[in-house]
Structure 1
C-alpha cells in the first residue's frame, strides 16, 4: 500500500429490498462451488510462500520484481488463463542493498540497528564521521543549519515527545468497532490529500540538495515505529535525480540514544561508522505489471478486473504488503479456472508494478487502455509519478476500452480477511454489494460503506469515473507493525483470512462478469469551473 491515507471511515448502508434488480440475485450454486474449491483445495499460502520465501522483496525495477513478474505470468498460464503477459511502464533504475553495518564509535563502541534507505548510494567502504543533529521538516528549516554540516553525518529527524505505547498491536474489528465507524463522513478534498503527499516527496529532493550543498557526507533518519522496527522507504528514484548521499534509517531507540549523547553537557563529539553497499540496476529502465484473462463469451465482451500490487519495499519480504493481495487475486483466478466458469465478460487479473512509488502500473494501464489526461510537470510535480501529474486535469481523452470497462476490485490493506467494501459514494453499487455479500455474513463480511478510501490501486480507475473499489479488511497488525517494515514476512500472514478473501473475490468477479448490464457508474468527474457554471445556469 503506497500510503495509508484514509479519506473517510466506515458507514453501514442499509438498502431496501426493491433497489436491486433480479439481475443481481446471487448464483448460490456457484457460491457453493467457489467456497468448496477455495476452502478445501486452496493454493493461496503456497502462492504466497513462493513470492516471499523463494523470490523475496520485490522493489520496483529490481531483478526480484522481474522474477516475480515472470513467475506469476507463467503460473497464470499453467492454470489455464489466456494471454498471460507483462505490460511495461517507464520507471528508472532498480536498486538492491547488499550490506549494511552501522556502529557507534565514540563515546563508546556499540552496534546500531538500521537499514539503507531505498535508492541512496553506498558508502564505498567504511565511512567514519561525527554526527550533527539537524531536524528539518521543510525548506524553512535550512537556514538555521547553513555552514554547520560540512563533513558531518546528519541526523535529520526530531525525536518526538515520549508517550505510553498502546497495547493494541493486533486488532480485529468486532461489532462495536464497526458500529463506531458507522456514520458517513463528508468527503475531504482529494486535492488536499494529494498536496500533502506532493510536499512530502518533493521535500526529500530539496533536503538532499541542501545537504549536498552544505558538504554533508551522509544522512540518518529516524524510523517511524518503535521496537526496532525499520521503515527505509525512499522516493528519490527518478533517473537524473538520484540521491548522491548515503542514507540509512536507524531504529528509533538507537536514534534517540545518539541525539541524547549529542546533547550531553560534556559536549564530547559523537561519532559513528557506516559501511553500506548497494547495487543499481540499469539494464532495463522499465518495470512491469503482470496481467492475464479468463475470456468472456459475449461478442465484443466487456471487462471485469481484479488487482493487487506485486511490488514491495526492500526491508521485509513483502508478505502482507502486498504479497497477500497478490496471492488472493491469483487464488481467485485459480478457483474460477478450476470450476471451468464461462463468463459473459472477460475477467482480467492484474498484478501491478510500481504501486509503492505511486500507482505506476495501474495508472499506465488506465492511460494505455481506458483514458488519458493532460500531464503537468511544473514545480514540485516534476518529482512525482504520472498519477499525481495527471490527477484532476482536463480534458479526459477516452480510449476504446473505456466503454467496455465494467468494474475493478482491489485488495491492498494487509493480510486480514474481508469485512466489507468501500463504495466510493456509489449508491447503486452499495445496493448490489448488499446482495453479493449475503452468502458471506457467516464469514464476517457484510459492512458496506458509502465512504471513500485512498492509497490503493483502485484510485486511477475511480478518478476517471469508472467503478473501482477497495475492500474493507481486518487491520490485524498492518498499521502498527508490519506495514513497510522488516517484519513484513510470511509469519504475519494468516491462511484462514486469505482463503476467505479469495473466495469473496472470486464470487464478486463471477457475479460482475455475469450481470446483464455493465456495472453502474457514478457521474463523470468535472472541472471546478464546470460545477460553478452548472450552478449559475440553475
Structure 2
C-alpha cells in the first residue's frame, strides 16, 4: 500500500512539475505579462476606430484593422462576407434647451435615425397623457402632438442608484423610495398598455400624428448612464437624453413652463453595406481539419465605444492569437479565431459562419467565447456536454492557480439558447464554452451604454483572460483525444413539465434593416 501511495505521489509530482516547466506555457505567460499589446490594441480599437455598429464605416474599418494586425503578426486573416445591412453613419448630435433659458443638454441620436437639417428642429416639448382609459382616449389625444417634440420615457423619481441609497439613506427612506418607484412604474406600464402601445410601437404612432421629434431617457440605474439602442422613427429625430437633463425638461413641462429644445442630429444613410466576419487561422500541422476556435463578437452598439461589449473579448482573442503564434506556431490542430459581426442583433455573424461552414463545425475540438465585460473569468460551464468535465478539467489543470482559483466550474451544465456566439456552435452540437467574467457593474454601467469606454477596461483581468485562453487553446490542440459530443439529458422544464430539448441551429438575418 505504501509503495502504491509513493508511486501515486511521484506521478502527481511529475505531472505538476511538467506543467510548471512546459516551455510553451512558460513562454506564453511571460509574453503576456512582459510584452502585452492589450493597452495599445484597446486604444486603437476604441479610441481611434470607435464604436462598431453593424452597417457603419467604423465596423468595416475595424474589420480591415484586424486583418492588418494579424498580418503584422504573421497570421493569415480574411474578411468573410456573410450578408448586407442598412448602412448608416453617425454625425454630430447637439441638443439645446432654448426656452425658458439656454442650456446645452447631454444626449445623442439613436442608431439608424435619419438626419435633421443643419439647423435642426426647434419645438415645444410635451409629455404623454396620464391615466389613459383606453386606446380610443389615446387616439383622441394624439392630434395634440402635431408640431411638438414628445418626451416618452417615465420621469425617474431619483437619479441615484440603489447602492447609493443603501449606503446613505435610512432604512425607512430607502424602503419608501422603492415602494414609490414601484408604484409609479406599475402605473406607467398600465397607462402604456391602455394606450395600446409599447416602447417599440409608440414612436411610429407619434410620428404619424405629426410630432417633429422624440426624446427618450433609457436610464441604466447608475450615475449618468443610459442604454443606447436604435430609433423607431422613419423621418423625425429620436434622441436619448441623460436622466438629469431629461428630468429637468419633464418637470418644466409639468410646471407649465413650456420648454423648447433644438435638436441637431446629423447622420448619413449609406444604403446597402456588406457585413463581414473577420477570420484568422494558424494552420494545424497534424490534424488541420480539426479546430480550436477562439470566439468574440466584433460589433457593438454606439452610445460609447464598445470597450467592454465586446472590445475586451476581442482583445483577449487577438492577444491570445498573437501569443500562440509566437510560442506555438505549429499547432497540432488548426487554431481559428472568429470576430463575429452583428451579434447584437441576434448572433447573426456566428450563425452565418455555422450555416456556411458545416465542415469546420464538424471538426471543432473546442471553442472558447468571451463576451460579458472586462472582468477576470470566474465561471465555466460544460455547456450540456456529458463528458465535458473529462477534458475541460484536464486543460484547466495546466493554467496557473492564481487564475483558476477564481473560476467556478459547472458540469455538465446546459446549452445556451442565445446570449452570445457560443450558443450558435452549441446549437449545432459543437463543444463551445463561455468564459464568463466578473461583472464590474457591467449590466448597469457599461452594457450597451454611453459609458462603455476605454477607461472602464481592467487590463490586469483582461491579461489573465488572454493567458487562460491561450493555455486552454494550446491544451485543446495538443490533446491526443477528440472531444466527446455526447449530450447530457436535460432537466424537465418547470413550465411545461416536459424534458427540455437541445436548441436547434437558427438561420441569421442576412439583410438587416433592408426590408
Q: Do Structure 1 and Structure 2 share a fold, with TM-score over 0.5?
A: yes
SS in 2 for 1:66: helix
Matched residue, 2:426: 462
Alpha-carbon displacement from aligned partner over 1:268-320 (angstroms, at most 9, x marks no partner): 423222111112223x5211111010111235521110111222222222222
Matched residue, 2:27: 33
- The gaps in structure 1 that reach 5 residues or longer are 1-22, 170-201, 237-241, 371-399
Matched residue, 2:171: none
2-side partners of 1:49 and 1:354: how far apart?
22
Residues 1:135 and 1:357: Cα distance change in structure 2 (over 3 Å): farther
1:506 aligns with 2:495: no
Matched residue, 2:5: none
Assess if the C-alpha contact under 8 Å between 1:142 and 1:210 holds in 2.
no
Matched residue, 1:214: 209
Q: Which of 255, 258, 268 is residue 246 of structure 2 equivalent to? A: 255
Matched residue, 1:445: 406
2-side partners of 1:280 and 1:341: how far apart?
44
Task: Give how far 1:203 is off.
Answer: 5.7
Matched residue, 1:298: 286
Q: Which of 294, 301, 304 is residue 316 of structure 1 equivalent to? A: 304
Residues 1:27 and 1:207: Cα distance change in structure 2 (over 3 Å): farther
1:133-532 to structure 2, matched below 5 A, reads 133-134=127-128, 144=138, 145-162=141-158, 165-167=161-163, 206-225=201-220, 226-234=222-230, 243-264=234-255, 267-282=256-271, 285-299=273-287, 301-370=289-358, 400-438=359-397, 439-443=399-403, 444-449=405-410, 450=413, 454-523=418-487
SS in 2 for 1:301: strand
2-side partners of 1:208 and 1:358: how far apart?
23
Matched residue, 2:92: 99
Task: Give how far 1:259 is off.
Answer: 1.7
SS in 2 for 1:115: strand
Task: Give how far 1:214 is off.
Answer: 1.2
Alpha-carbon displacement from aligned partner over 1:210-263 (angstroms, at most 9, x marks no partner): 122211111111132343324321176xxxxx7322100011111122222222
1:4-83 to structure 2, matched below 5 A, reads 28=20, 29=22, 30-82=24-76
Q: TM-score, normalised by structure 2?
A: 0.77
Residues 1:235 and 1:36: Cα distance change in structure 2 (over 3 Å): farther
Task: Give how far 1:413 is off.
Answer: 1.1
Assess if the C-alpha contact under 8 Å between 1:307 and 1:410 holds in 2.
yes
Assess if the C-alpha contact under 8 Å between 1:304 and 1:509 holds in 2.
yes
> Larger RCO: Structure 1 or Structure 2 (Cα < 8 Å, ≥ 6 residues apart)?
1
1-side partners of 2:163 and 2:407: how far apart?
28
Bigger Cα displacement from structure 2, 27-36 vs 345-354? 27-36
Assess if the C-alpha contact under 8 Å between 1:114 and 1:230 holds in 2.
no
Matched residue, 1:20: none
Task: Give how far 1:117 is off.
Answer: 0.6
Task: Give how far 1:161 is off.
Answer: 4.2
Number of residues of Structure 1 aligned to a counterpart in Structure 2? 441
Residues 1:409 and 1:112: Cα distance change in structure 2 (over 3 Å): same
Task: Give how far 1:525 is off.
Answer: 10
Task: Give how far 1:92 is off.
Answer: 1.9
Assess if the C-alpha contact under 8 Å between 1:420 and 1:472 holds in 2.
yes
Assess if the C-alpha contact under 8 Å between 2:313 and 2:373 holds in 1.
yes
Q: Which of 117, 121, 129 is residue 123 of structure 2 equivalent to? A: 129
1-side partners of 2:309 and 2:268: how far apart?
23
Residues 1:98 and 1:460: Cα distance change in structure 2 (over 3 Å): same
1-side partners of 2:52 and 2:465: how far apart?
23
Task: Give how far 1:69 is off.
Answer: 0.7
1-side partners of 2:251 and 2:365: how far apart?
57
Task: Give how far 1:446 is off.
Answer: 2.7
Assess if the C-alpha contact under 8 Å between 1:228 and 1:251 holds in 2.
yes
Alpha-carbon displacement from aligned partner over 1:413-433 (angstroms, at most 9, x marks no partner): 111122231322334223432
Over aligned residue pairs, what C-alpha RMSD do you find? 3.4
Task: Give how far 1:359 is off.
Answer: 1.5
Residues 1:91 and 1:41: Cα distance change in structure 2 (over 3 Å): same
Q: TM-score, normalised by structure 1?
A: 0.74
Task: Give how far 1:507 is off.
Answer: 0.9
2-side partners of 1:525 and 1:68: how far apart?
41
Residues 1:496 and 1:268: Cα distance change in structure 2 (over 3 Å): closer
Matched residue, 1:373: none
Task: Give how far 1:485 is off.
Answer: 2.5
2-side partners of 1:146 and 1:76: how far apart?
55
Assess if the C-alpha contact under 8 Å between 2:384 and 2:488 holds in 1.
no
